[in-house]
Amino acid sequence: MRVLAQPAYVLHARPWRETSLIVELLSRDHGRVAVVARGVQGAKRHPLRAALQPLQHLRADFLPQGEMARLLQAEAVDAAPLLQGEALMAAFYVNELLLRLVPRQDPAPALYERYGELRAEFAAPGELAWTLRRFERDLLEILGYGLPLDEDEHGQPVDPAGRYRLDAERGPVRDRSHEAGSTSGAALLALAADRLPPPEQLLELRSALRGVLSAHLGPQKLKSWGLLSELARLGRD
């Protein structure tokens, strides 16, 4: 059955054969969908190619065919944000994360809405690292991997002055030895309350959430993590 005028965001597009593309979409009603866009080369097909760029919001008609679908038509809803530098790399990171974690053809309207909010946040001034930590937290929750950041593994309130390891299954685990990689309770409570923490706590949350995401991603890490780390290093030099 054809799907008509489905709102979606473009996560990724790659060449396929000589004149076509395989495009990964995050749709409102059908979740992540891979569509084959045939014959997109040539001047007459420029509007379609433009609508199939990453971050683009569009309406798509497609015909599901097993694990993939055939794109029938796509029309841009608006202009994708023009991102540069760290914001552009952050967007690539989020898209790669979704491609790895979000199953295909599993409706996730809440994720579609949250991605639209994130897209607008990337284009606005703000603390980029905090924007990413909040999205990572929300993504885990939407996918069913959410953790109670204000309670430890025993259901006790997180101590702001304590140190914790963020376990992908158990949540905050008290770390009385203060080993490397532990996170302050204050940082976890700030994330739980959606309150921007100080820079040092924000850095702790980056490591803590990366550990949780790594547990769900498996042994193959994200390519964009290495690029983001390199950008951060260059920014300190």
Please state the domain extents for the chain.
3-76, 126-236
Please give the order of strands across the beta sheet that includes 183-184.
171-174, 163-167, 183-184
Task: Say which CATH topology domain 126-236 has.
Answer: de novo design (two linked rop proteins) (1.20.1440)
User: Is domain 3-76 given the CATH code 3.40.50.300 in the classification?
Assistant: no
Asked if residues 109 and 28 have their Cβ atoms less than 8 Å apart, the reply is yes
- The runs of H, that is alpha helices, within 43-178 are 46-51, 85-101, 109-122, 128-142
Query: pLDDT tens, 3-60?
Result: 999 999 999 999 988 889 999 999 999 999 999 999 887 666 777 888 999 999 999 9
What single string gives the DSSP state of each residue in 184-233? EHHHHHHHHTT-PPPHHHHHHHHHHHHHHHHHHH-SS--HHHHHHHHHHH
What single string gives the DSSP state of each residue in 2-28? -EEEEEEEEEEEEEETTTEEEEEEEET
- This model's pTM is above 0.85: yes
Asked if residues 35 and 69 have their Cβ atoms less than 8 Å apart, the reply is yes
DSSP 76: E
How far is it, in rounded angstroms, from Cα 190 to Cα 133?
Answer: 11
- Confidence at residue 42, expressed as pLDDT on a 0 to 100 scale: 67
The answer to which of 59-73, 122-136, 169-183 has the lowest mean pLDDT is: 169-183
Task: Label residue 113 left, alpha or beta by phi (over 0 means left) and psi (-120 to 50 means alpha).
Answer: alpha
Report residue 88 as tokens. 């552009």
Query: pLDDT tens, 176-234?
Result: 887 777 999 999 999 999 999 999 999 999 999 999 999 999 999 899 988 766 665 55
